[in-house]
Amino acid sequence: MKLNADPRSGQNIVTGHGAGWVAINGQRYERSLLVRPDSIDTDWGPERTEELNGTHLAALSTLRGNVLLLGTGNRQRFPAAPMLRPLIEAGIGLEVMDTGAACRTYNVLVAEGRAVAAALIVE
């Protein structure tokens, strides 16, 4: 799916996504990543949702912002409750959805000026 971005924003926007890829500002990524309005971390995340573990989520507990979106591949899959402890203890709000929905939601929240991060599992 192709998404339209506001080129004047100067922020990272998801410009497309599909099976096995996500595009940020027109650049295609074929691996899981963490995207924020001002940064992209291509070292975050598992190759498949089944590989998601507490270490991946604990790494997100240092993020500051209003919302953390977790895109879990081609369908919504909730992490096991014990893996969420670092995020809960850090007071980080987590929304879990499939990666396509996370991409669309991320763009809406960026457009609203919200402090948001999207951890996107690309499979």
Instruction: State how far the alpha carbon of 114 is from the alpha carbons of 1, 43, 66, 73, 106, in Å.
Output: 23, 24, 7, 23, 9
CATH number of the domain where residue 108 is located: 3.40.1230.10
Average pLDDT over residues 30-34: 97
Strands (E), the chain: 14-18, 21-24, 27-29, 33-36, 39-41, 67-72, 94-97, 116-121
Looking at the domain assignment, is residue 5 inside a domain? Answer: no
In a domain, 24, yes or no: no
- Please check the confidence at residue 117 and state whether its pLDDT lies above 90: yes
Q: What's the confidence (pLDDT) of residue 10? A: 87
pLDDT value of position 95:
97
Say what the pTM is: 0.91
pLDDT for the residue numbered 32: 97
Domain assignment of residue 54, yes or no: yes
- Asked, for residue 107, whether it belongs to a domain, the answer is yes
Q: Count structural domains, the chain.
A: 1
> In terms of Cα–Cα distance, which of 42, 7, 14, 38 is closest to 106?
14
Confidence (pLDDT) at 4: 55
Domain annotation covers residue 83: yes
In-domain check, residue 49: yes
Q: Is residue 73 part of a domain?
A: yes
- Domain containing 80: what range? 31-121
Residue 61 counted as domain residue? yes
Q: List pLDDT tens digits, range 61-84.
A: 999 877 999 999 999 999 999 999
pLDDT of residue 19: 93
